[in-house]
Structure 1
Amino acid sequence: MAETGTALRAAARLLFARDGYAATSVEAIAAEAGYTKGAFYAHFPAKAAIFLTVLEEGGRERLEPLVAAITAAATRAEVETLLIDWADGCSQAGLWPMTILEYSRTAAREGASVETLQALLVAQWTRLGTVAAPWFGATGAPVTLGALLHEIAYAPATTFVPEPRAGALMRLMLAGLGRG
């Protein structure tokens, strides 16, 4: 049972990143994982549920190592390098920025909640903003800094243009942060 859920989540992550939310069906997820639609529904009540699950898992997998590295960093330059490298990695993670927007536009029609997505994003932004703020003298709510860092890292245009890369945008923003 756990193996099936793991395979379904892996298939969903691949398909959502590659094809987007609207183009990914329950049938496609089940087939990619090597299971039936019935197996899918034995684990998830709807496409929205697996989407939110894999989005949260993927965000945690990308964010927690960054948070740990920032927490262990000794200098601002080290933190800047971590954020620049993270941004470059995030920008190459597939269609997630567009997929999130697709989900937010179609969720209500499918009977799904946008509030769950909002809470997930705000939690991630707050987590990153809380650990990054002291390094940049950022005042105000940590969610604001975290949202800015995420928006640069996951900028939709940087997923398909060769230049500028998300890391270059992050470098430019960080150069002025807390220095004026």
Structure 2
Amino acid sequence: MDQTIENLEQNDIQINQVVADAGYSSGESLQYCADKNIDAYIPNFGQYKPEREGFIYNAEKEQYECVQEGRNKAILLFKGIRTDSKGYEKKTYRSSEKDCKDCPVRAQCCGKVSKFKKLDDSIHKPLYDKMHQKLLQNKSHHRRLVKRRSSTVEPVLGTLINHHNLKRLNSRGMVQANKHVMMGSLVL
């Protein structure tokens, strides 16, 4: 996204609002939009969970708390930031074995083998939560923006890909690829 906005700024085009699909949803892009005061409408990716069933997040204490009846009211403390196998940084929260040991629903909650409950959240969860709330509060406005995007942007991409054979770029590097796409766009 940063490269695209730089290209537009070089041509004195200022960006105030961005409408994108979930493929552009990332913590980095949401942070960039927040830093540059860009009004963004980007749906969160499919694995985003606004809430954790049976747990509430206590931001003041940086922990999750078990809230379902019949449970031992376990506290999942913040254990640190770790990088998963795909390279994403996540905050890890974990209960103690002692809290979950005698819980009547431990097997369903923790699993048959594990003796504690563990939750992972993206380090960008506050940004995803903020976007989730924004999209819920402005559903009709977001729908209008998506409709306008699909009638203006999508046909251009479809034309470039299907009629101008831009399915593959025969160039190396972002600078050359950018030139290739810009020239194809100018033809339209």
Q: TM-score range by the shorter chain?
A: under 0.3
More helix by share: 1
Q: Which has the higher strand share?
A: 2
TM-score, normalization by structure 2: 0.23
Larger Rg: 2
TM-score, with structure 1 as normaliser: 0.24
Larger RCO, structures 1/2 (Cα 8 Å, 6+ apart):
1
